[in-house]
Amino acid sequence: MHSVQPLLGLSWLTPVHPNQLFTARSYKYRRFPILGYSQLLLDSKTPTMRASLLSLAGVASLAFSGLGLAADAEEWKTRSVYQVMIDRYARTDGSIDHECEAHEFCGGTWRGLINKLDYIQDMGFTAIQISPINKNMEEHTAVGDPYHGYWTTDLYALNDKFGTEKDFKDLVAELKKRDIYLMADVVVNHMAQKFDNKPPPKIDYSKFNPFNDEKYFHPYCNVTEKGWLNATEYQDCWLYPYGVALADLDTRNEFVIKEMNSWIKGLVSNYSIDGLRIDAAKHVNDEFLPGFVKSSGVFAWGEVLTGETEDFCRYQTLDLLPGMPNYLDYYKLVDGFNGGSFEKLAQIKKQAINNCNDTFALGTFVENHDMPRFANKNSDMAIAKNAMTYVILNDGVPTVYQGQEQHFNGFETPHNREPLWQSGYDKESPLYKLTATLNKVRNHIIKLDKDYVNTASEILKANSNYFCTKKGSYGSQIVFCITNNSSKGGKHPLIVGGFQADQKVVEVLTCQSNQAGMSGTIEMKMNNGVPKVYVPADALKDSGICEQTTAEEFRDDTSGAGVTGAATGLLAAAVAGWAFMFLA
């Protein structure tokens, strides 16, 4: 049995193997956040309760009709997302030597983020996802401070730990200036209060705004071990309380529904928010979600933490959510790099295509603020490069969690939330340079091929050690191969297709040229466990990518030098005035 532990921050349950995800003892819910903010005046008139809620089908039919007014799914598919935890990204004074206790406030601010946006933009990211912005509880608890922003007490006030309203508005303005989309993390499942660990929690509901009465919350109950298989229980009971009581909102209550929908509409409108991440979406009743997304008027991801295809994809097939962070890929990808096989990754991808409505609207990731760092399980730099390559070039929206590009290796919460300033914002680190190259290539190809983001990858090879795909139309396709062979993996020629006969191609991580044979295949010279990424040579014209090439050959590349040529191309592009081409 997997025990429950009083981990600091938002993660409370010990990790379990994804193959056990849908068993009672191993349901992988790991966070309990909340969010929100709007300056709209609170409507004091409680609406008359209807006899019953709209049926799920009725709600779904109305689901996303308002998305065209702002950044919609099609626009988000062209973006690449960098996830920021405000308290751990940058301090206002720009200091990089400030010590940080993992479970306490460390001083990151919205102003600090503004001052360090170049760091994100220079990697080629065209969107950021930020942690919650609204007021949290003030107390220090048995599981630390609310540095993460998820323990909301007031939807209608900003979190002054992160700065002033002017600071936040200045952040939004600067993002718009740079054409970087803003995704706000929001939680509608609960509100938070300090807990003495003596159940049932003694909640002073009057401290919550706007839900200042017990009648807006579900009666206290703790999710039982078998309850993780029972939707009524895991949606209506309080998620495991330790140090903080997460009072579970009754999102079937007419006032709660109306207030939440009004609030999110105001939040998006007042601050020009481009997208949402709905935390703990699986723990809110189904009927609530489509109306909430529709009220926002923007694209939304909802967190559905499961590795089971049917349980995951139903959120799209029932029109509950436009998209979700792709946990299906996540578990198989991590396994594939840690003793598993990429065959299972290929299988889950096919299952997702057959069961989900739109896999291109899913967010691809190998790290976030809830899961152990990828490098915690495997510190090999070559393996990290392969993982990053998959995240950026896979179907769906690339999502990189701050610090991944610096090879951070923290374990569970809060140790996977290291302050980024510890890295010195090093733009010469191997993964930073690799990420910049991969984003530049992806952004360039999207410009050339309007159908690229909605073209399913063709799996060319999937076995114990290699995973290769072709994505995009011939002439502007990207063919990449990743491997779980480590940096000590040696030299391995690999015959891979995905090209046209006699097509000249460039391996963009080393700026080496190659040419396909009559059958449309090339011999990839896999070396030292690093990934390979090929693009037709003609597609790179006027891109600033690999302006000088050499013939492909085996070369030692264990330190990150494999992106030197492409990085030089980036510099040349900047000189030529193309530095911001990927922001269009």
The neighbouring-strand residues paired with 481 are 468, 532
Instruction: Please give the Cα distance from 126 to 463 (Å, whole number).
Output: 33
User: How many alpha carbons fall within 13 Å on the CB side of residue 241?
Assistant: 24
Count of other CB atoms within 10 angstroms of residue 93: 12
- Tokens 């096989």 correspond to 341
Q: How far is CA 34 from CA 121, 136, 141, 268, 275, in A?
A: 28, 9, 17, 16, 16
Instruction: Please give the Cα distance from 400 to 129 (Å, whole number).
Output: 10
Whether cis (ω within 30° of 0) applies to the bond prior to 200 is yes
Q: How far is CA 541 from CA 122, 446, 548, in A?
A: 21, 14, 11
The separation between the first and the last C-alpha atoms of the chain, rounded to the nearest angstrom, is 50
236 catalytic per annotation: no
Count of other CB atoms within 10 angstroms of residue 318: 17
Can you say whether residue 124 is alpha, beta or left, with left for phi > 0 and alpha for psi between -120 and 50 degrees? left
Instruction: Please give the Cα distance from 150 to 3 (Å, whole number).
Output: 23
Q: What is the 3-state secondary structure (H, E, C) of 40-59?
A: CCCCCCCCCCCCCCCCHHHH
Contact 263, 134 (CB under 8 A): no
Of 167, 259, 286, 303, which one is the catalytic site residue?
303
Instruction: Please give the Cα distance from 51 to 136 (Å, whole number).
Output: 34
Question: And the tokens for 381?
Answer: 């730099």
Instruction: Please give the Cα distance from 413 to 32 (Å, whole number).
Output: 12
Instruction: Please give the Cα distance from 518 to 112 (Å, whole number).
Output: 54
Q: Which residues contact 77 (CB under 8 A, 6 or more apart)?
A: 360, 361, 396, 397, 453, 454
Q: DSSP per residue over 482-523, as a string?
A: EE---TT--EEEEEE--S-TT-EEEETTTTEEEE--TTS-EE
370 catalytic per annotation: no
Instruction: Please give the Cα distance from 14 to 525 (Å, whole number).
Output: 41
| Alpha-carbon torsion, ordered 75, 81, 86, 90, to 10 deg | -120
Of 87, 279, 380, 418, which one is the catalytic site residue?
279
Instruction: Please give the Cα distance from 351 to 496 (Å, whole number).
Output: 24
Q: Is the dihedral of CA 290, 169, 75, 307 positive or negative?
A: negative
Closest CA to 532 of 480, 464, 465, 485: 480
* Backbone φ, ψ for residue 169 (5° rounding): -65, -35
Residues labelled catalytic: 279, 303
